[in-house]
Amino acid sequence: MLDGCFKYFLRGLAGRNRRNQRERMSKLVLKIKKRDLMLLSLRYGILLKGGKYPPGSIRNWGGVEYVKQASGEWRRKVQKKEPWDSSSEKAKELKISDFGTPEEVCEMAKMPRTAKNKNEAISILQEIASLCEIVSKSGVIASLSKKSIGKIVNDPAIHQSFNVNAHWKAAANVDKLFSSAIEPWEFKLNPSKNNENLKSRRYFYAPMEYDSRTVIVKLTVKEYKQEASDKRLYSIEAIDVDLQAKK
């Protein structure tokens, strides 16, 4: 008899605890600002309705772009993947403002090292690889392996760049270039290349001062499917685009 009464007592106590918990949560939600609720909702995939913005409007919350639908809902903007063979051509669309203010870009473009030939470039690249991993402006960490160094200084890579001396300069400063590099687009994988275990080829762009101009250097990073595998800097290309002429 007493055991049964005790069970009913515990059940009722648990029910009251649940009701009290719901009440406390309701009061807590009321204290959160409307803007914070919107950010939390978007973060966890809850779509919001209403608002003064017309359909098609794009807003940025927490560094992520959202597009307003005809239904009034905000959905995360899906970034279109560009064709794999347009990564160098897309560089021609970049402007100084994509990297920062003119003064900031002027500082970014100054390179601390020079290399006049393949041997000097290899020596500097090996030194960079031995020091640490390299980090992009957005925080992407990439490694520089012995294979990467060989790829950067081989003949096909040199001929991809518009000028061999510009290529050596870029090679000698890959860490500085990557630290100011941006990744404005995503690209499809090249179907004609070996994509085994490859998640994506990512293309970063950075300004470099060369011959009284500010040219663009494209840095290719391979990202692998396995979580344990790191992102590896794969190749570079000096592109004949003068940012200063596009003010």
Q: What is the pLDDT of residue 210?
A: 95
Res 29: pLDDT: 47
pLDDT at position 228, please? 54
User: Quick one: pLDDT at residue 43?
Assistant: 43
Task: Report residues of the chain scoring pLDDT below 50.
Answer: 1-10, 13, 28-35, 37, 39-50
3-state helix, strand, coil in the chain (%, to 5): 45, 25, 35
Instruction: Report the pLDDT value the prediction gives residue 8, as an integer from 0 to 100.
Output: 46
Tokens representing 187 are: 């690209």
Kindly report the pTM of this predicted structure: 0.65
pLDDT tens by residue, 167-176: 999 999 999 9
pLDDT of residue 65: 65
Domain boundaries, the chain: 17-76, 81-246
Measured distance CA(22)–CA(155) in Å, rounded: 68
What integer pLDDT is reported at residue 22 of this predicted model? Answer: 52
pLDDT score at 173 = 96
Q: Phi and psi of 210, rounded to 5°? A: -150, 125
pLDDT at residue number 119:
95
3-state secondary structure of 34: helix
